[in-house]
Amino acid sequence: MDVPRHVAIILDGNGRWAKAKGRPRNYGHVQGSKNVETICEEAWKMGIKYLTVYAFSTENWNRPKEEVNAIMTILRDYMKTCLKTAEKNDMKVRVIGDITRLDRDIQDRIVQLEEDSKDHGGLNFTIAINYGSRDEITRAVRKLAGDCKDGVVDPEAISEETISSYLDTHGIPDPDLLIRTSGEMRLSNFLLWQLAYTEFYFTEVPWPDFTKEELERAIRQYNARDRRYGE
């Protein structure tokens, strides 16, 4: 099986998955975060080099306060678990998004996780937290405009590569395959610039039920398309 180098996933359907089981939405988020751990390991075993997941969007702050707080608690715990997993699996972790809006202690854990794992040679795992593509592009443009004003960048010399290098994803290749679970067919403000040529795969399966077999199915479909239109 020809494995895509970079797979990005919009983790969706935690709430509906829990509701279908008669459980609170937050239970879905707990199971969803556990599944992230599993899929990281499986992705690496399959030969995927880059995995990027959308965990919390800039729009998700509009959810009920209680749910936002529960998700933040899960993220806080997750950062701790991830530190151990990154060590064990030699995973290099990066967080994209505007982390300055997160609680101080979560920010500290993110910095520690990135620092501790920066020399690892295994899976390049990127987590999007308080991420929105329009926000990312806005921050990038603001910084680029500042650099032009300071004479660091010549506006005439700005290329697509320049813009990519100002985005949170600088240095990470664009995704080859985007997966969105749980039936919605929209991007919800995820990686708008980076997904320009990416193949999309949508499945009805909610994120907590998304297994290794589901990932393989997505890759098989990606391969079938690759053969049809491939280079």
- Residue for token digits 């995704």? 175
| 213's tokens | 């077999």
Q: Work out whether 136 is an interface residue with Mg ion (CB under 5 A).
A: no
Q: Work out whether 14 is an interface residue with ligand IPE (CB under 6 A).
A: yes
Indicate if 226 belongs to the active site.
Answer: no
Count Cβ neighbours within 10 Å for each residue of 32-56 and write b for 16 or more, e otherwise. bbebbeebbbbbbeeebebbbbbbb
Q: Work out whether 93 is an interface residue with ligand IPE (CB under 6 A).
A: no
Contacted entry of Mg ion, ligand IPE, none for residue 225, CB cut-off 5 to 8 Å set by kind? none
> CB of residue 208 vs ligand IPE: minimum separation in angstroms?
9
> Residues 197-226: x/- map of binding to ligand IPE (CB under 6 A)?
------------------------------
Helices 65-89 and 25-46: angle between axes, nearest 10 degrees: 20
Could you say which residues in the range 168-197 bind ligand IPE, by CB under 6 A? Answer: 182, 184, 186, 188
Indicate if 135 belongs to the active site.
Answer: no
Asked if residue 123 lies in contact with residue 43, where contact means CB atoms within 8 angstroms, the answer is: yes
d(CA 206, CA 188): 16
Could you say which residues in the range 11-40 bind Mg ion, by CB under 5 A? Answer: 12
Contacted entry of ligand IPE, Mg ion, none for residue 10, CB cut-off 5 to 8 Å set by kind? ligand IPE
| 153's tokens | 């960048």
Q: Which residues are tagged catalytic?
A: 12, 60
Query: By the criterion CB under 5 A, which residues form the site for Mg ion?
Result: 12
